[in-house]
Amino acid sequence: MTRNDSVDRFMCVLINKDLVHFRDCTICSSCTMDATEFRRRGKEMVDLIADYLENIEQRPVYPDVEPGYLRSLIPEEAPEEPETYEDVVKDIERVIMPGVTHWHSPYFYAYFPTANSFPAMLADMLSGAIGCIGFSWAASPACTELETVMMDWLGKMLKLPEDFIAGTHGQGGGVIQGTASEATLVALLAARSRAVRMILASDPQRPETGITSKLVAYSSDQAHCSVERAGMIAGVRMKKIPTEQSDKYAVQGETLRRMIKEDKAAGLIPFYFCATLGTTPSCAFDHITELGPICNAEKIWMHIDAAYAGSSFICPEFRPLLNGIEFADSFNFNPHKWLLVNFDCSTMWVRKRSDLIGAFKMDPLYLKHDHQESGLVTDYRHWQIPLGRRFRSLKMWFVFRMYGLKGLQDYIRKHVELAKEFESLVRADQRFEISADVVLGLVCFRLKGSNEVNETLLKRINNGRKIHLVPCQLSGQFVLRFAVCARTTESRHIREAWRLITQLAEEVMQELPH
């Protein structure tokens, strides 16, 4: 090899089998991390993570920072010269941790859980190292095939109808989406595509724009805002079906039937209904055993969003909440909420995979491969909005094997028991009231009195930063939500939280004018 003197002063090129290593004599040791150092730093990072999680309850659960706090703590531009790993790690505590809301603290009771487990974190490390982009079977066969099998494993845990299991003679199957919001949108777009194809099959001369402008979709007024947002993105009108406290905030079959009849009389085309099992405000359950047959008779796509509650259906005592799934076209829930699989992992099943593929299939030459028309493989790029996808099924594989179905069921049951314990504490205090049925791990409660009193109480709770809650509105009332979230939450944390809430409630009530 001929050497150029000016280049030789800075680097030498060593060819070792198929690898080319560039060794910069002045900066290489500080700007790169070889396998030896990675082993050392990796062990240090595992210790840092374990220490963080073991001691997380000692930190204020909610950060005490103002918007824009971080910019003043780091330079305006990326460094010209490499910095040391030690310098980067030191800045985690200085820059990052002050602005972290600690979702895995046993004093975090806001929103819904986000899953966390050591097996899932280890699997994520492996996924990052493999680093494949599994848009097709050929792009990484293991990435595709493990996902298909894991979705079947989970579908069987849930006792889904055979139509949704890929490893049978059914026409459906499962796919991992990033979030339930994505699953809702994917189902809506597939439903829109199917509706247009069905109408054009019987009336080929009808302009497609004349069809899409008349499409109408439905969801509960308790449904997550992402359902309405999906309608906005898809360019279709989305109507909210009103619910009542007397019906436990569940959509009733007769209400849906009436709205469909009125819309058809007005020349609209009903095509999609998103049922919710475990609504965000109160964990309410739509009556899908009533709603499903209506949707099937009207050729309306019924999608079931069970983002939070779906994990509980692996327990026999909660599986009846999923009765009616046999009428659904698609079903989704988030193992990354309550099944110990770290974000992101949102599992979606469809009864007919051709409905998804028909809406999203694109086959440029550079993505084709020899096996794609064999009928033996799945190309998940046709089942989702993005093209690329991570090896997320590794997390499911690790968690399912290392916890087992029984361990996962025990975890769900423990959270429900803790929620029931909190409910009993609320009911024992005459100053408070329960605002919705406690079915799983969410308790909706409030001080008896005005909305303003409850708003003040929640503000005091969150300003103290010892526990963290968020509110909802039910029948015009401001309600506090208490969701059991963290993997490490125990009875003592529930009782400490209640002591704090009652102490602050006493202060708020003493300040009221007599």
The tokens 């944390």 sit on which residue? Answer: 493
Most confident of the following: 3-7, 57-61, 133-137: 57-61
pLDDT bin (cut points 50, 70, 90) of residue 376 is low
CA distances from 477 to 166, 242, 433, 446, 463 (A): 45, 16, 12, 9, 22
Most confident of the following: 23-37, 360-374, 461-475: 461-475
C-alpha closest to that of 107 among 66, 55, 64, 69: 55
Q: How does the average pLDDT of the chain come out, rounded?
A: 87
Q: Give one DSSP letter per residue of 215-235, joined into a string.
A: EEEEEETTS-HHHHHHHHHHT
| Mean pLDDT lowest among 111-120, 287-296, 368-377, 380-389 | 368-377
pLDDT bin (cut points 50, 70, 90) of residue 18 is very low
How large is the average pLDDT for residues 309-315?
97
Distance CA 335, CA 338 (A): 6
Structural domains for the chain: 35-58+63-100 (1.20.1340.10), 118-513 (3.40.640.10)
C-alpha closest to that of 421 among 318, 490, 321: 490
How large is the average pLDDT for residues 66-74?
94
Chain segment 250-305, per-residue pLDDT in tens: 999 999 999 999 999 999 999 999 999 999 999 999 999 999 999 999 999 999 99
Taking a C-beta distance cutoff of 8 angstroms, is the pair 149, 320 a contact? no
51-58: long-range pairs with CB below 8 Å, 24+: 53/104, 53/116, 53/488, 56/102, 56/104, 56/105, 56/106, 56/488, 57/105, 57/106, 57/107, 57/488, 57/493
Distance CA 61, CA 102 (A): 5
CB atoms under 10 Å from CB of 499, counted, come to: 11
CA distances from 363 to 253, 358, 366, 367 (A): 41, 12, 8, 6
Distance CA 439, CA 277 (A): 11
> At residue 411, what is the residue type?
Y
What global pTM score does this model have?
Answer: 0.86
Chain segment 438-471, per-residue pLDDT in tens: 999 999 999 999 999 999 999 999 999 999 999 9
